[in-house]
Structure 1
Amino acid sequence: MIRGFKDTDLNSVMRLWLETNISAHGFIDENYWKSNYDKVKQMMPKATIFVYEEKSIKGFVGLSGNYIAGIFVETNSQSKGIGKILLDYIKEKNKELFLQVYKKNERAVSFYLREGFIIENEQIDINTNETELVMRWENDAK
């Protein structure tokens, strides 16, 4: 079930954020994610967040306007359609969506391409010195 974020979700969402980032970005030192934890924790309640819950939170998507800050699905629940369910949910609410994804995160890049996103640009993330892809999705029906 998808629902809006509640303040009581913060610790679960942050645990998922940290674990998923470390797991998906083996090319970035995990201390980068750990050192940004507190800053992200303060920003989370300011974002628009939807969680996917089955007894516990299995995944979430964070938005700032029509920018997807990230889709995070716990490791044991990946490849079960939760990321697609979350993405489809926000596609229904937006005419256009943007995101940035690390080029080396091939699994995520493939997912977004499969879901209709196009690569608009490549750039370097100055915080990690890694190449990111700027991707966009547009709903022509709206």
Structure 2
Amino acid sequence: MIKESNNPEEHPVLLAIWEASVRASHDFLTEEKILEIKQIILEGNIFSHVDLHAFHNEKGEKVGFLGLSHYKIEMLFIHPDYQGMGIGKQLTEFAISEKKITRVDVNEQNLRAVRFYKKMGFQVIKRNPLDSQGNPFPILEMEIS
């Protein structure tokens, strides 16, 4: 079940999902870089700048979430124990159909995510050699066709 998750009291659970997901899927990031990004999320209160929606399992636990801004998916993270179960697909379909999302940026090195978004109908429209913090992690700007 997908529910809005904009209450700041929910942010620690979402951060734990983010970290577990990143550790499982972003093998190009060092431990130092993961901790640095985590600190940016905390200090910048990043979760408060997006419209958050969490996927809850049958026990009511949050196991994945989506962060939206305007017409763009800003974040989509699924706990590793729940990856491959269609949760990302359900959240993305929700974003497209209910929130009219048309764009997403993806780390080029996260091949699984790139394949996922292409399967969902997104196409690469631009490649940036650096991420938003100026790190050498290329970003693919994708748009749904």
TM-score (norm 1): 0.89
Aligned residues: 138
Alignment of 1:79-98 (within 5 A): 79-98=84-103
- Alignment RMSD: 1.5
| Structure 1 consecutive aligned stretches of length 4 or more whose deviation exceeds 3 Å | none
> Residues 39-85 of structure 1: CA distance to partner in whole angstroms, max 9, x if unpaired?
31312022101000122111000111112111100001000000000
Tell me which residue corresponds to 2:2.
2
Classify the secondary structure of the residue corresponding to 1:91: helix
The answer to whether residue 75 in structure 2 is matched with residue 105 in structure 1 is no
Counting aligned pairs with the same residue, the percent is 22
| CA deviations over 1:110-132 (Å, ceiling 9, x no partner) | 10000000110111125320222
* 1:58 corresponds to: 63
Structure 2 matches for 1:19-38, cutoff 5 A?
19-38=20-39
1:43 aligns with 2:50: no
Q: Distance in 2 between matches of 1:64 and 1:86?
A: 14
Distance in 1 (alpha carbons) for counterparts of 2:51 and 2:121:
22
Greater share of residues in strand: 1
Residue 9 (structure 1) shift = 1.2
Normalising by structure 2, we get a TM-score of 0.88
Moved more, 107-116 or 22-31: 22-31
Structure 2: gaps spanning 5 or more residues: none
Q: Which runs of 5+ in 1 are unaligned?
A: none
Query: Which has the higher mean CA deviation after the structures are superposed, 34-43 or 20-29?
Result: 34-43
